[in-house]
């Protein structure tokens, strides 16, 4: 009997404030979509870091002919300078951080250059002597790039030392800023959702002030009186959360898996399983927002 009464009260409240309820659902949907997008973006960054950082190499470019670098004042790198660089890489300060060293000759660099830029007309003007021979260093810990760089940079015969991680970090910085933007928009929309839920519950309670007064007179408990109002907000917010999960699932399926996956399949993308992982969090956030809004509204603004 009590359950039937509570359900009837919930249905009555949702019908009386249908427009406000729809507004709550839509605002919750939008706000939690931004929250989910931010979470998926951070998951994407984590996947890319795990995959790409393991492949990071430090490239030590040796002096070619006619280089203007101060360390190349004596001209093209000599065998003695190469031996000095190799000794530095094998030194106690550097060796623990070096997993493997690959040597790329000028001829190999030229072949790689021609393959990469074969469609560019100016690539045919390059010669083998224009290329840098180099050492490609695989690190045991990509975060220790500075240790290798400090020892190798500035040595005679070394034109430049480059770390691929710096290129990745720029990309990750852009993605992190996008995450912050999505998170900021999500906070604004969540605040709007809280205010709307608060207003909806307050209007619902005021519209049934007479009924709640009678219930109080016949001895109904505070929890029994307030429960329908709390469930109204929770139901609206939960529907919004489910729509957000559905929207993210559709976006990942068709935008990420089908479109990006086909155009750039070498990148480890987020998947629908990641959406399902964050789904309970989004639903939990929606219920928490509704609970907070209900408690504030029913305890401070409406006497029932």
Instruction: Give the residue carrying structure tokens 């993605």.
Output: 175
Percent of the chain predicted with pLDDT > 90: 5
The structure's pTM equals 0.60
pLDDT for res 301: 47
Q: Total domain count for the chain?
A: 2
Give the span between the Cα atoms of 71 and 201, in whole angstroms: 73
- 16 with 71, same domain? no
- Cβ atoms of 194 and 289 closer than 8 Å: yes
Of the pLDDT bands very low, low, confident and very high (cuts 50, 70, 90), residue 243 is very high
- 63 with 38, same domain? no
- Measured CA to CA in angstroms, residue 275 lies from 95, 252, 253 at distances of 42, 8, 10
Least confident of 21-35, 163-177, 218-232: 218-232
pLDDT for res 110: 84
Of the pLDDT bands very low, low, confident and very high (cuts 50, 70, 90), residue 11 is low
- Measured CA to CA in angstroms, residue 117 lies from 57, 123, 126 at distances of 22, 6, 11
- 173 with 279, same domain? yes
- 184 with 292, same domain? yes
The encoded tokens of residue 278 equal 């964050």
- Greatest mean pLDDT range, 36-40, 50-54, 166-170, 193-197: 36-40
- 83 with 182, same domain? no
Of the pLDDT bands very low, low, confident and very high (cuts 50, 70, 90), residue 216 is low
- 124 with 202, same domain? no
* Residue ending a domain, choose from 164, 196, 228: 164
pLDDT for res 247: 92
* Residue ending a domain, choose from 118, 140, 164: 164
- 133 with 184, same domain? no
Give the domain range for residue 173. Answer: 2-52+169-301
pLDDT at 224 over 60: no
- 159 with 16, same domain? no
- 142 with 32, same domain? no
pLDDT for res 263: 67
Of the pLDDT bands very low, low, confident and very high (cuts 50, 70, 90), residue 249 is very high
DSSP 8-state class, residue 77? P
**pLDDT tens per residue, range 75-113:** 888 888 888 888 888 888 888 888 888 888 888 888 888
Beta strands in the chain (DSSP E): 57-62, 98-104, 134-139, 158-163
pLDDT at 218 over 80: no
- 43 with 174, same domain? yes
């Amino acid at each position: 009997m009590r359950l039937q009464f509570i359900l009837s009260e919930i249905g009555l409240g949702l019908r009386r404030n249908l427009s406000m309820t729809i507004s709550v659902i839509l605002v919750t949907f939008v706000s939690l979509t931004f929250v989910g997008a931010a979470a998926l973006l951070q998951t994407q960054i984590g996947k890319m870091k795990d995959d790409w950082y393991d492949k990071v190499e430090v490239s030590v470019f040796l002096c070619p002919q006619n280089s203007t670098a101060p360390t190349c004042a004596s001209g093209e790198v000599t065998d003695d300078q190469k031996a000095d660089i190799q000794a530095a890489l094998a030194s106690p300060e550097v060796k623990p951080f070096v997993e493997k060293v690959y040597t790329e000759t000028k001829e190999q660099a030229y072949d790689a250059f021609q393959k990469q830029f074969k469609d560019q007309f100016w690539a045919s003007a390059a010669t083998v002597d224009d290329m840098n021979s180099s050492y490609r260093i695989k690190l045991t810990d990509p975060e220790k790039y500075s240790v290798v760089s400090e020892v190798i940079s500035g040595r005679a015969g070394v034109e430049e030392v480059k770390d691929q991680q710096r290129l990745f970090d720029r990309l990750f910085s852009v993605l992190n800023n996008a995450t912050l933007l999505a998170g900021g928009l999500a906070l604004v929309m969540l605040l709007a959702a809280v205010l709307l839920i608060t207003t909806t519950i307050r209007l619902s309670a005021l519209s049934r002030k007479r009924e709640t007064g009678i219930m109080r007179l016949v001895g109904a408990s505070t929890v029994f009186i307030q429960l329908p109002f709390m469930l109204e907000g929770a139901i609206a917010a939960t529907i919004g959360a489910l729509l957000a999960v559905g929207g993210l699932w559709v976006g990942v399926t068709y935008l990420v898996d089908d479109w990006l996956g086909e155009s750039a399949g070498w990148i480890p993308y987020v998947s629908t399983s990641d959406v399902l992982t964050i789904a309970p969090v989004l639903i939990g956030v929606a219920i928490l927002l509704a609970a907070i809004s209900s408690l504030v509204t029913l305890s401070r603004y409406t006497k029932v």
